[in-house]
Amino acid sequence: MSAAVTLALLFFLSVALNEQVTEGCRCLPRHPQQHFCASDIVIRAKVIGKVNSTLPRLDAYRIQTIEKFKPLNMKRIQVIYTSQTSCGINLQNDEYLLSGHVQGGSLVLDLCDLVKPWNKLSRAQKLYLSMYQRGCVCEISPCTGASCLIKMVQKKCLIRAKDLFSFDDEEALQSICLPESAGFCKWRKIRQ
C-alpha cells in the first residue's frame, strides 16, 4: 500500500472515529462545541500570572474565574496546569475561554484544548457557550467534497474540512449544532 493511500486511510479513520489525534502537538481541528462537549471544565477566566507548580512536569498559572459554563456547580478554580513539553500552552495576563480535563483533581490544559483569548471569540461563540450543552447529543463530523452536500444526518452536523488540520466552513464555526425532531441534528444560527 502506498504512503499516500495509507495516510488517506488514517485520516478518514480518525475523522470517522471523531477522535482528537495529536502528532507531536498537531491536533485535528475541532468546532468550539466539540471542545465544550469533550471537556470536563469550561470557564472564562483572567490569568493573573505564572506561579510555582505543586505538580511535577507541569507549569501552573493563578487565575480568577469570571464565569463557569461547564459544570455549573463546580467549585471556583484558582490554579490551572499545563505541560512543560511542547504540547503545553503559554498564557499571558489576559482573559481567556479555557476548556480542559480534570486530572488528579486539577484542571490541566494542553495545546489540543480550547484556550482562546476572550476578545478573540465572536459574539455568536460567546452566546453559544450557554447553549452548547444542549447540542452535546449531536456529533460534529468533518467532511470533504460531495459528502458535505448532505444536509441532514442522523445525530450529526457536518463541517467542511480544508485539510487534515483546519476547517473551511466559517458558517458552521459561527453556528451551533442542535438536535431536531426524529433524531436529526442541524446547524442553527441564533439571533443575537
66-82 tens-digit pLDDT = 999 999 888 889 999 99
* C-alpha cell at position 70: 461547564
In the chain, what percentage of residues exceed pLDDT 70? 86
87-106 tens-digit pLDDT = 899 999 999 999 999 998 99
Q: Is the pLDDT of residue 21 over 90?
A: no
Cis amide bond preceding 29, omega within 30: no
Domains along the sequence of the chain with CATH: 37-120 (2.40.50.120)
Q: Are 47 and 94 in contact (CB under 8 A)?
A: yes
Other Cβ atoms closer than 10 A to 113: 23
Identify which of 169, 115, 166 has the alpha carbon closest to the alpha carbon of residue 11.
166
Q: Is the pLDDT of residue 85 over 60?
A: yes
Task: Give the start-end residues of each E strand in 3-138.
Answer: 22-23, 26-27, 41-51, 58-70, 79-83, 95-103, 106-109, 115-117
In the chain, what percentage of residues exceed pLDDT 90? 59
